[in-house]
Amino acid sequence: MIITEISNKPISIIKNSTISDAIKMLLNTKISRLIVNDGGKHIGIITEKDIGLFLFSETTKRGLEEIPITDIMNPIEFVKQDITPEDAAKIMIERKVSSLAIGEKQEVKAIITKSDLVRYFAEKPSEKSKVVDFMTHDYEYTHTAAPLYKVVRKMLEKKISRIIVKNQQEEPVGVISFRDLFRISIELGSEDDFSGTNFDNVRRGFLSTEGFGDISLARDVMSKGLITIKFNEDLVEACNVLLENNVSGLVVLDGNNSIAGIISKSDVAKALSS
């Protein structure tokens, strides 16, 4: 099989759009990347992770609706259309990207993502692999009462896109991902939200000690509950759960129902490449 058989048409956003526009489109379409279109030419790509890393480490006072997507877009990674999904997985890992484009310079005909690789892995006949064989055993966590800016700081320092939230009894009660942070950025990040206040230094639309990152807590933002899978389940089953819930990672439980780690789409790509 070649990657054109599992690829999809890209969804694009026009060049003069703002980060606010991009976040809204990502949330509405439930995808994690957009191709930047300039008069029919595809000039870059912007991903959920790109936005997250920029928003939560940037020090500008500009609002979301003032920052053009061209400030943070990245080059498009092209590959030949006749490579296999296994080759695509290897390339993604080597280049540290989550998608590849099929086409020519400035013309993306199709795109393949880690989600496509997960779907391919789930459907192709293969030797049985267990979640425990490919999961990431380490995981990061925070607590429900942690200020949001501290949560974001840890996510940036650890270079992770999700963090488990525990209550005061050290019980896991939820997860925070970039997508959750985007939602609160849109809800609280407009200029009107701070009208009539004395917050001269508020960075509208950003999570920081100067903005609402100091007054919002982890429990205000987290997605409640955990989507889990047992460590001894087939990796194919993990793929199905990832796809059914449209998430990029699952919490892995051990034999005592304690958290043993995380299995993500990146881990599935590594399994496919091996």
Single-letter amino acid code for the residue at 250 = L
Claim to verify: residue 155 and residue 259 sit in the same structural domain: yes
Claim to verify: residue 108 and residue 143 sit in the same structural domain: no
Claim to verify: residue 96 and residue 173 sit in the same structural domain: no
Claim to verify: residue 257 and residue 198 sit in the same structural domain: yes
Claim to verify: residue 57 and residue 100 sit in the same structural domain: yes
Claim to verify: residue 85 and residue 137 sit in the same structural domain: no
Claim to verify: residue 142 and residue 247 sit in the same structural domain: yes
Alpha carbon distance 274, 272 (integer Å)? 5
Claim to verify: residue 100 and residue 149 sit in the same structural domain: no
Q: What is the CATH number of the domain that holds 53?
A: 3.10.580.10
Claim to verify: residue 98 and residue 63 sit in the same structural domain: yes
pLDDT tens-place values along the chain, 274 residues long: 899 999 999 999 999 999 889 988 998 888 889 999 999 999 999 998 888 777 776 666 677 788 899 999 999 999 999 999 999 999 999 999 999 999 988 899 999 999 999 999 999 877 689 999 999 998 999 999 998 888 888 887 888 888 999 999 999 999 998 888 877 776 665 544 444 433 333 444 455 555 556 678 899 889 999 999 999 999 999 999 999 998 889 999 999 999 999 999 999 999 999 8
The pair of structure tokens assigned to 109 is 């005909």
Q: How many folded domains does the chain comprise? A: 2
Nearest 5 degrees, angle CA 24-CA 33-CA 271? Answer: 135
Alpha carbon distance 86, 272 (integer Å)? 6
Tell me the residue range of the domain where 73 lies: 3-123
Q: Please tell me what DSSP assigns to residue 69.
A: G
Kindly report the backbone phi and psi dihedral angles of residue 74, in degrees, each rounded to the nearest multiple of 5, phi listed first. -120, 160
Claim to verify: residue 157 and residue 254 sit in the same structural domain: yes
Claim to verify: residue 171 and residue 218 sit in the same structural domain: yes
The pair of structure tokens assigned to 135 is 């999961």
